[in-house]
Structure 1
C-alpha cells in the first residue's frame, strides 16, 4: 500500500501540474522502493537509490559518502541495529514535498515495526532529492534526533 502524500504542490499551468504530478509519482515510487529495500535488509538496493557523493546528517554530524561502497558499510551497520530491534517492516508518510526543477525537498515520518506490529523506532528524516537523467535519487538526508525522554 502506498503511503499518502499529506501535502503536495502544483504549479500555475496545466503543463506544470502534469510535470509535478509525474514527479510526485516518481518520488512516491522512490520511497516505496526505499522502504521495501529496508524491509528486505538489502544494503545494495538502498545504496542504489542515492546520488554520489551524498551527505547524511545523523547524531549531530554530517557524513559524506563518495561511493555506494562507502555508504553500504554505514547501511549494513544500520540494518544490524534494525535487526537487533526486531524490525521487519517500515511504514512512511510524506509530511511535506516541495519540487523545484530537478530538486525536491521531502520530509518523511517513519515507523519501523516489529512482527507483532509494535513500533520499534519512529523518527523523521528530511531528504534532498535530485533528478538525474529522469530518475529521482537521494542527494542528502538530515535525520532529526528523537527528543530525549
Structure 2
C-alpha cells in the first residue's frame, strides 16, 4: 500500500468517525456536509437521488426523528472493508446505534461509494442493508 493510499484510508476512517459524531449530535447540517452531490441513497430496495444538501435535508431530518424516537444516543461503527482506487473508494460499514442504557436500538450495514474532490473524501452513494 502506498503512502497516499494510507493517507486516504485514514482520511476515510476519519470521515466515518465524523459522520457518526454528527448523528450523535443530531446535526443535520454536519451530516449533509459529508456528501458529494448529486448523491444516490438506496433504502428499502428503492434508490433516491438528492441533487443538493437542501434536497437531502428532508431525508436526514426524517432519519434523525427515527433515531430520536428510538432513544439513540450513540452510533458505533466498524469499517469492515475498504478499497481505495485513485479518486474513488468503496467501504462497507456496520453500524450499531445504541440507547443510553447501551441497548442496541438499530443495527445495519451500509455500503458506501466515496469520491475524493479537492482532497476531501465525500459520500457519493449509499446502499443500506439490514442485518
TM-score under structure 2 normalisation?
0.98
| Counterpart secondary structure, 1:33 | helix
Matched, 1:63 2:44: no
Runs of 4+ deviating beyond 4 Å: none
Report if the CA contact (8 A) 2:98-2:105 is conserved.
Answer: yes
**Alpha-carbon shift at residue 145 of structure 1 (Å):** 3.0
Structure with a larger share of its residues in strand: 2
Select the structure of larger CA radius of gyration.
1
Partner of 1:116: 101
Correspondence list, 1:28-47, <5 A: 28-47=13-32
Q: Distance in 2 between matches of 1:34 and 1:78?
A: 14
Q: How many residues align?
A: 131
In the alignment, structure 1 residue 95 sits paired with structure 2 residue 56: no
1:46 Cα offset (Å): 0.2
Kindly report the root-mean-square deviation, in angstroms, between the aligned alpha carbons of the 2 structures: 0.6
Q: Distance between the aligned counterparts of 1:98 and 1:23, measured in 2?
A: 10
Quote the Cα distance in structure 2 between the aligned partners of 1:145 and 1:90. 16
Q: TM-score, normalised by structure 1?
A: 0.87
Q: Which runs of 5+ in 2 are unaligned?
A: none
2-structure distance, mates of 1:108, 1:83 = 22
- Structural mapping, 1:1-149, within 5 Å: 10=1, 17-146=2-131
Structure 1 position 41, deviation (Å): 0.3
Name the CA distance, whole Å, in 2 between partners of 1:24 and 1:129.
11
